[in-house]
Chains A and B, each alone.
Chain A
Amino acid sequence: MKILVVEDDENKRVQISQFLHEAYPQAEVDLARSVQSGLRNIKSNLPTLILLDMSLPNYDTGPDESGGTPHIFGGRELLRQLDRFDINVPTIVITQFEIFGKPPNAMKLPQLDEELRAKHAPLYQGIVYYHASIHGWKDQLRQLIDKALNGQEGV
């Protein structure tokens, strides 16, 4: 089983990776840090499952790379690309934000969930609210992963 984590926040990436190694020791965890590197990885490796952050840069940032346009809805952009290329990999969104954008165009988590369900089902599996100091996200993520993998992989 190959799981791709698309996440630009280093701490969150480490936390998610640790959780996956503990909960799904047999899983091969791969990492990407931007919309484009995520998409490239998906096209070439075709993972079993994608764990996707919502706010992402376009390219991996680095000393010589600003990252291009930062996407508040970078995860949604990636889902659109999957839809475009008919790539059918179950995807779970993990975000640490409750609100995206600024009023009057702000979107709350339930609204986003609703929109993603409407436009990207059955690819889209659900959304997990991540909080660094609260562990509830792990249970929620485990449930969604198990559901996405037909209850085969839980520990």
Chain B
Amino acid sequence: MAKKSITPLDDFKNQLRGSPNPIRKLAEIRQKLGKADLIRLLQWLPQYHRDGRGLFQWQFPRRIADLRRQGVLSAISADKEIVWAARRLLQNADRINAFRVHAEQFERELTSKNYQNCRSQLDELEKRLGTSIWLIENKISILQLVEGIESQKAYAVSIREARGGNDLVSYLAFCISYRNENAVTVPHYVSQIIAAVDPERGVNPEIGSYVLYRCTNRIPKSEDEIGTLLRYEENSSIIDLYETFLLLAKWSIANPAFDLKDIFVREVKTLALAIKDFRLENLLFLGGVLKDISGTPAIPLDLHDSFIAGEYGRAVQAALSANEICTSNSSAWFVEAKARAEDSIPPRPEDSQFSTVIINLVRSVVMREEDENALAKLAKYRLNFRLLNFSSSLEPFLAEASSSDPISLGTPDQVACFVDNPIRVPEAYQKLPTPELREGYGKSLEKAYGHPPSLYFEIMRSGDPCPLPFPKEIPTLLNKDLLLIMHTERELRLGNYVQALELSTELTKVERRTAYWKLAQFHAHALLRCGRIPQLTEFIVVSVLKDKSMVRNLPIRECAEALDKSTRRLLRANLSTSVLLDLYSRNVNDSLDSERSFAYEDFLISNGFERPSQLAEKVTEFPVDQLQYYLRYLCTPSVMERSGAFAGTTEVEDERLKVLALLVKVDPDNSATYSGEIGTITRNKKIRQGVMHVEQSKISIDVPALRRWAHLNIKETFNRYKTFLSSGLHDESSSATDVLGEGAGDKNFTREKDVPDVPTNEIIDVIGKMIHSLFYEFTTNPEHGLDCYLSIRIRHGPIYGQLLSPLEKEEIISQRRSDSDEYNTHPSWTNRLKHLDYSIRTGLISRLKQFSKEYADFINRIANELIQIKTKDKKNGLFVITDETGGRAQIRGVGIPKFATFLNAIKADTTFDTFLDSSFGLFWESVEHSLKNIRGLIDSSLKLELARLFTTLETDIAAIAGDGTIADLNTSIRVAKTNAQEALDRVKEWFRLPKPLTAPELAFQDLVDIGLQMVRATHPEFDPVVNMDIPPLPLIEGVVERLFDIFQIIFENIRKHSGLGKNPQVTIKLERKGDRLSITIENEVAMWVRTPELEARLETIKQSIAKGRYQSGVRLEGGSGLFKLRARVGSAQGQPLPLDFGFSPEGWFFVQFEVAIRHIGEGEA
């Protein structure tokens, strides 16, 4: 007897039976079978059982925890995936029928606002068929709608908990929950999700594609992607597989780019035999299987015909009646909304049905009332209820409302809308993609409705030949505006653009705004199609400037993109060219911003100007609204700076001020806006000047205070010296070197001796000690001397901020750990490098940590060793004012002849102030010598050291990464390197003598802003919420620099120590007490900041300050800056001005101090 041969399919069945992991085996087998065998395998699979359980037991998951627990099957071709999915659905037809009953009832309950019943339907569905992504998505949406954000968030959290952590289901729930939040807008949400699943971030592209489909309703871009989505749904509930199958079928049948139409139609035909779903029939009609769609219900057409006749009140009444018959007839919603809009009929009273919300929003969009907001809300409903039929009807409406193409037919959105509509209506005619389908649909409508005007309108405007015998009087039943629209649209669709252009020029004669908008859109489209770009440019600009809402529907993109170089040259003298390109920039994207700037400048040049303010001479020669627009929106710094007419940002800003002044004249209606901008720019300039003043005054001393100190401490010695001079005791032969030598032992360089020297020459001793004492004070006085300023304005925070911020911005430097010398790992790179092998990733991160330490050491050395007054303790200090070489002292940078001249200038009649002036001059000369050395060191050594740090890092990183992709890291390092070099250049510029600038006169608020801006210059992310309680004050002078420093120290402290990140709250109160200002600054702090240890430390600082120890503390870098604050608050009449700090009863940190604002000479020292 011949042995029965085993077919490959039998073999596979055996393999499946014997496999310990049948799902994996199934995945493997699927890839090896053709379509026919796949079907046979599926027919057999229900017989497969293992341990009493079938293979597809996951398709009705009872609990959230059970959903999508199988692995995703291996890929097969898209056409096989479609067959596989359809046959699986067929096997579950009964349950899908049950699902559809619940789903349709759920939608009816929703649109009728029976929200409680909605919940019941979902609960019942879950009980019968288990859970699904469909259910989760709708449940979140309904919870948000009815109970608000807390409820839907709690549900999303419960899903994550049920899943036991992060996985695809909990991520989808998170994304859907986020989407439903009221504050979230669709464009932002979509861009966030796209960024989150970017393969560049290491996300599996298939998962990314599935998430985008599920969360953003993104139409797949390829046949493979369609296969992937179906394969991902294989792992989910049968409900999800069914709904996704239908969505993909709609998109594939409508999209000629996909070659999957036939296979989908074939499988839909099979499904339609077993599943009762009107969408399957609509798909079969769309696929050409059904020639007639007369099985679909019809409704009375009073609403549509009344609308076409222009009887809008009657249309609304008809709509209300229709609504009672079928609440989910979304096509009626739109006609009603448009009828209300046409006749300015008020919106439906709120708080009735869900459909009311939609109708009122659509009405707002049609009337262009707050339409951006209404459009955004509709887009949210569309996405949040994407799985319900009514939402499909929103998509074409949203597209039409924001599209410049007035004549698209049969787009995927329109087709989806057609498929999801359970009712036959005339306007669905436009949504079909081919003339054959439209003809078939027209005949179906004829069977249901005869020859109504609304059907005539739809057929005529489509451009199709009219197949139905409409009565001759039909056109007379149409509203005359609509008749004109119908004829123009028909000509456009037939490609008769010149005729369409002629018809649309009647637009100025129509009665209604909606008709005007439509005809203007047709007119622009006809101009575009005729290639009349100059006329189109002018038409768009004139139309938009007259009615801003036109911006949405005119072909700005197409027109701007058609403005090639030669056309722009041709139109360069017209304002409209640059205006159009600006409209493109604002409403499309920034890809033509260069061309916009060129057009801005070309207009000026071709009219004989270089700068826009020169237009003042010829304002009457241009269309006033275009000139206003040009000056207001194009003559802005961002556009003007691309012009060669300006040498820098200051010139650009000054020009903007001139333009604003011109605008006040040419556009007086908006003069308040322009005056406001002038005020803002002027204030910002002032603040920038203040910031620059501080930047250029980093090397400083407090001259009035030191002068006062000298009066108290030196003047008597000076008078003694003058007495010697006038008495003839002065020996003319004593040289300048002798004088310098005499003072040298006093301060910086102590010579050990058992007893003080008896001076060999008393005159020389007097003048020598006086000069050394004076220079010592100039250099090291902890409140007024050079070292104080070096500490506050360079070493304390600024140099760290300046040199660290470029690296912090690129996230290549991390913080040092508080408990050791180790540096933290930057969390961002752990994530951004996760695509690399573990060993490479840890190697790179370890190198970055090492670099953080090297770089911090580099800055520490500059601050703590180099930018110091040279002393015994600071031997590498680069500021050397007085020095001792070869046993003799000298003032560095001042030659002996110069010093001799200085000495010889002191005569018996020289006043002390004249002597002091000469001394300050000599001091600055010496300081300049040190500054020059520092600048030289930065150029010759520190820049190279900085470059070497980065180059070594780059080389090491490349070696560690090997073949791994680290472009992201490389970019960050190189950007940081360039910016760190620039920062070091800026630091170099600090080491220049202060320019003879007087501090600007500023309002108190400006001083606060300048202090804040000094911190933000290096930490732009820091943006505290500052509330000020300031009584009216005159402009402040005299203490400007002191307050700059104080506010800078305080804001830097808030940034570093509040524990609240970027936006802590700060309140500033000011009280005037005679010639003093009492200022209280309070800032909120994180709860964990206030600890007993911190309070003890503050107490210690307070005690040190009280004992006067802060003077040495000023020289210490790092820490709280409170010693420096004490030094800068200063004293008056010999007593320290009040300073207090600590925690307020409310738990905020406060600093309270007083400053003297008058008689500054008395108030210092």
Residues of A participating in the B interface, judged by any CB pair closer than 8 Å: 8-11, 35-36, 39-40, 43, 55, 58-59, 61-69, 77, 80-81, 83-84, 96-99, 103-104, 106, 108, 131-134
Contacts and interface: CB of A to CB of B under 8 A. Distances in A.
B652 A133 contact: no
Across the A-B interface, give the 8 residue pairs with the lowest CB-CB distance, nearest first.
A98-B967, A63-B989, A133-B955, A9-B978, A80-B594, A96-B974, A132-B951, A99-B967
Contacts of A108: 967
B649 A103 contact: no
A97 B638 CA distance: 25
Interface of B, secondary structure class, is: helix
Contacts of B692: 64
B200 A10 contact: no
Contacts of B985: 10, 61
B598 interface: yes
A99 B971 contact: yes
A83 B637 CA distance: 23
A63 B986 contact: yes
A55 B692 CA distance: 26
Interface string B467-503: 0000000000000000000000000000000000000
Nearest to B191: A104
B650 interface: yes
Interface string B967-992: 11011001101100110011001000
Interface of B: 191, 194-195, 198, 200-201, 565, 594-595, 598, 637-638, 641-642, 644, 647-650, 652, 692, 695-696, 943, 947, 950-952, 954-955, 958, 967-968, 970-971, 974-975, 977-978, 981-982, 985-986, 989
A39 B198 CA distance: 37
Nearest to A96: B974
A65 B951 contact: no
Nearest to A100: B971
B981 A10 contact: yes
Contact of A103 (B195, B650, B695, B943): B195
Nearest to A37: B647
Contact of A10 (B191, B696, B943, B968): B943
Given A63-B986, A131-B954, A8 B978 contact: yes
- Residue picked from B595, B642, B954, most chain A C-beta under 10 Å: B642
B636 to A, nearest CB: 11
Contact of B649 (A66, A84, A99): A66
A26 B141 CA distance: 73
Most buried by A among B638, B649, B692: B649
A64 B650 contact: yes
Nearest to A132: B951
A81 B432 CA distance: 47
B644 A40 contact: yes
Contacts of A131: 954, 958
Nearest to A14: B947
Interface of A is mostly: loop
A34 B1140 CA distance: 49
B685 to A, nearest CB: 13
Given A9-B978, A59-B647, A59-B648, A133 B954 contact: yes
Given A64-B692, A77-B594, 7 more contacts: A36-B644, A43-B644, A59-B647, A103-B195, A103-B198, A133-B951, A133-B955
B598 A84 contact: yes
A132 B565 CA distance: 39
A59 B194 CA distance: 35
A131 B951 CA distance: 9
B522 to A, nearest CB: 34
Contacts of A36: 641, 644, 647
B986 A69 contact: no
A35 B955 CA distance: 30
A6 to B, nearest CB: 14
Given A11-B947, A99-B971, A63 B641 contact: no
Contacts of A40: 644
Given A58-B641, A69-B638, A133-B954, A99 B648 contact: no
Given A98-B967, A98-B971, A103-B195, A11 B981 contact: yes
Given A11-B947, A69-B638, A84-B598, A104 B954 contact: no
A103 B201 contact: yes
Contacts of A65: 648-650
A59 B951 CA distance: 27
30 contacts: A8-B978, A9-B978, A9-B981, A10-B981, A11-B947, A11-B981, A36-B641, A36-B647, A39-B644, A58-B641, A59-B649, A63-B695, A63-B696, A64-B692, A66-B649, A68-B637, A68-B648, A68-B649, A96-B974, A97-B970, A97-B971, A98-B970, A99-B967, A103-B195, A104-B191, A106-B200, A132-B947, A132-B950, A133-B952, A133-B958
A68 B981 CA distance: 18
A69 B641 contact: yes
B968 A99 contact: yes
A143 B971 CA distance: 25
B376 to A, nearest CB: 22
B954 A132 contact: yes
Contacts of A66: 649
A35 B971 CA distance: 21
A65 B688 CA distance: 11
Contacts of B974: 96-97
A116 to B, nearest CB: 14
A122 to B, nearest CB: 16
Contacts of B594: 77, 80-81
Interface centre among B951, B970, B978 (most CB of A within 10 A): B978
Contacts of A62: 989
Nearest to A95: B974
A75 to B, nearest CB: 12
Nearest to B688: A66
B646 to A, nearest CB: 8
B563 to A, nearest CB: 13
A89 B187 CA distance: 42
A22 B1062 CA distance: 50
